[in-house]
Amino acid sequence: MFSAITNVPFRAGKLAIERVNSQTMDSNPALCLVFFSERYADPELVHGIIQKINPDVVAGCSTNGEIAAGYWRESVIAISLSTDFMRFGIAVEANEKLANANDGIVYEDFYKRALTDLRNKLLFQENKMVLPVNPKHMNPDFGLLFLPGTDPDSEPKANTVIQGLRKYLGEIPLIGGSIGDDYNYENGYVIFKDEFLENHTLLILGRSDLEFSMAQIHGYHIKKEFTVTKAINNRIVSLNNEPASLVYFRELNLPVVEISDLRDEICALNPFGIKDQSTGELQILFPMSRGKEAKELTVSQVIPEGATIYFTEAELDGAKKASLDAIKKAYVDGAIKDPRLGILFSCGGRSTFYFDRALAEIEEIKNRFKYTNIGGAYLYGTLCGKNNWISEGSSSVLLIGNELRRRPKIK
């Protein structure tokens, strides 16, 4: 992996790929992930990238900060997965099309395009993988998903997209998050092969003969629970039949004010939480504003009426070490003995709340996992495993080992 900082998008893209290729000696890897500051949000970035690499393996998105053996801002980073034992299929879909999908056809087509790309690469891109004879059995083992979330007023919401795709993905684990834009809360950008696109969702399906594992950590605990008695899309109108903003600020022991008037630490210390129905895991939601009505609270995702929502509190030591603990959990709970790469996604709200901790935690990870390359991005929130929510205030990691998996035989 390599990071590049220049004043010209074309040069930044070209330089990042040149340097990463010089490390791997491979211009046609299994996958090349590119994460970049909105400063470089220009089609010229992609034109620079594809000068030195096969565009069919390139994918990435804009961020709130980049990770490449350190914490970076306003840079372009490239992570090359140069291996004969993994292959990836890539697809994108316009957010507007996903938002207007009245049936599953749009989501099914989105999934099938990524699956077809994966199977074509397994069949026609040279590799050393053990593959089933029937291409229909060449299914993904995991996915990477980069979702809308830069603008809380835009559609679709991230959890709606995840749930729409789950009908076709099944229970395969996912890693990724809500696309960043240097904290401007406006537009997100993706790279799809040789295209530079605005306001799209990016899906990457991976099949791996190498061991891999995932984990997510946030460091929050539940203090009190409430029932959502009225909600409109991502606006929580009432909790336990009381105005949502009144309930929230009462728990904070603060007068009711506009959330944007508070310091960011307030909502990072005491966000909401909701448990994923599929996994039972607590997912974190930062209140973002008081909504169109002063009594409401706006969050980033769709909240169902009748759901149980939690007022939570940060465990400071645990929250500060969320990225390190996520990597430790992926290592301890998985079958990996020799981790070679960790793809890390962390919520931008953590770096805002913990100030210089963003740099310190990456340094600590490097000291603990000296022979593991760590790269990734700060996003608006992260997705991990079989969860169907973007969890804010969280860190999620995909850890890839150097050992071959023992894949069950297909009967």
Instruction: Enumerate the H helices of 125-263 as residue ranges.
Output: 158-169, 244-252
CA distance 248 to 262: 13
Domain residue spans of the chain: 2-217+320-404, 220-314
Cα–Cα dist 262/260, whole Å = 5
- Token pair 């993904």 is found at 140
When mean pLDDT is compared over 17-26, 282-291, 327-336, the highest value belongs to 327-336
Q: Which amino acid is at 391?
A: S
Length of the chain: 411
Bond preceding residue 156 cis, omega within 30 of 0: yes
**Using CA atoms, how far apart are residues 376 and 366, in angstroms rounded to an integer?**
14
Distance of CA 152 to the CA centre of its chain: 17
pLDDT, mean of residues 231-247: 95
pLDDT at 252 over 80: yes
CB 344 within 8 A of CB 77: no
- Which of 67-71, 140-144, 292-296 has maximum average pLDDT? 140-144
- Give the residue among 162, 202, 214 at the shortest CA–CA distance from 35: 202
Band (pLDDT 50/70/90 cuts) for residue 32 is very high
Q: Which two tokens stand for residue 280?
A: 């039972």
Let me know: does 213 contact 335? Beta carbons within 8 Å. Answer: yes
**344-383 pLDDT, tens per residue?**
999 988 765 555 566 677 777 777 777 788 899 999 999 9
CA distance 137 to 114: 15
| pLDDT band at residue 224 using 50, 70 and 90 as cut-offs | very high
For the chain, state the CA radius of gyration.
Answer: 21
